């Protein structure tokens, strides 16, 4: 049976976050085999336009059937499973390339909001049952993560696409626990 590709991405640093845990988190799964699936990983620059180009290049090369993006959300204490992305750019700080759009669309002419086809509440329930604080989120922000999610929902909306915001590494959330949570998300996606 041919191997099926899942693309898992994290982000590099951006103003205010010098060490983005999602880079290490994504790379921890590099090459992981999950049943018939192979996990391919990438660390995206936290710069919205280069992130889009990098996802497009990897997707063109791999033709992943599932795309999962990870980003860190400094204010959160639970995993935030994002249901939707807004077609809006409103950066409260510059991105890693110094771009700071305060208005405008991610994709001109596209709908105002795009939603994942995945059953996010079911996934959240699975995580909660495993003792992992998680919540359904309808707001992925207006920054690089939201733009990346919107671009992927727009370009690859015919397949499962998911964005997961994770809390920063802390005593409650050591990297190993974040890794466990991401592993559960991937297991659910390929089940």
Selected binder of ligand PCA within 73, 81, 106, 132 (CB under 6 A): 73
14 vs 156 by CB, closer to ligand PCA: 14
Is 85:140 a contact under the CB 8 Å cutoff?
yes
95-128 burial, b at 16+ Cβ within 10 Å, e below that, comes to bbeeeebeeebbeeeeeeebebebebeebbebbe
Decide if residue 14 touches ligand PCA (CB under 6 A): yes
Nearest-angstrom CA–CA distance, 151 and 156: 8
In the annotation, is 165 catalytic?
yes
**Closest CB to ligand PCA among residues 19, 187:** 19
Contact between 64 and ligand PCA by CB under 6 A: the answer reads: no
Using CB under 6 A as the binding rule, whether residue 67 contacts ligand PCA is answered as: no
Minimum CB–partner distance for residue 109 and ligand PCA (Å): 23
Question: How far apart are the two ends of the chain, measured CA to CA in Å?
Answer: 16
User: Is residue 11 at the binding interface for ligand PCA, with CB under 6 A as the rule?
Assistant: yes
- Residue number, 10 or 64, with CB nearest to ligand PCA: 10
Q: How far is the CB of 3 from ligand PCA (least distance, A)?
A: 28
Of 137 and 184, the one with the shorter C-beta distance to ligand PCA is 137
Closest CA to 87 of 116, 108, 56, 117: 108
Q: Which residue of the set 40, 69, 82, 154 is catalytic?
A: 82
Residues 6+ apart with CB under 8 A from 8: 26, 29, 39, 40, 41, 42, 68, 70, 182, 186
Q: How far is the CB of 36 from ligand PCA (least distance, A)?
A: 29
Decide if residue 8 touches ligand PCA (CB under 6 A): no
The answer to whether 40 is a known catalytic residue is no
| Sites for ligand PCA among residues 81-140 (CB under 6 A) | none
Tell me if residue 154 is catalytic. no
Q: Which residues are catalytic?
A: 82, 145, 165
Task: Name the site residues for ligand PCA (rule: CB under 6 A).
Answer: 11, 14, 20, 22, 46, 71-73, 141, 143-145
């Amino acid at each position: 049976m041919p191997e099926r590709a899942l693309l898992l991405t994290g982000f590099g640093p951006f103003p205010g976050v010098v060490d983005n845990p999602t880079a290490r988190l994504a790379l921890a799964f590099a090459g992981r085999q999950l049943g018939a699936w192979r996990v391919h990983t990438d660390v995206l620059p936290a710069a919205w336009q280069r992130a889009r180009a990098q996802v497009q290049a990897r997707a063109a090369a791999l033709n992943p059937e599932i795309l999962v993006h990870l980003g860190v959300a400094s204010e959160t204490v639970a995993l935030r499973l994002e249901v939707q992305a807004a077609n809006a750019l409103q950066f409260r700080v510059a991105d890693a390339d110094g771009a700071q759009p305060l208005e405008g669309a991610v994709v001109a002419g596209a709908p105002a909001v795009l939603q994942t086809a995945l059953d996010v509440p079911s996934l959240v329930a699975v995580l909660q049952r495993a003792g992992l604080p998680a919540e359904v989120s309808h707001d992925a922000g207006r920054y690089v993560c939201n733009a990346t999610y919107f671009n992927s929902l727009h370009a690859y909306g015919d397949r499962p696409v998911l964005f997961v915001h994770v809390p920063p590494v802390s005593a409650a959330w050591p990297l190993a626990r974040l890794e466990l949570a991401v592993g559960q998300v991937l297991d659910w996606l390929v089940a």
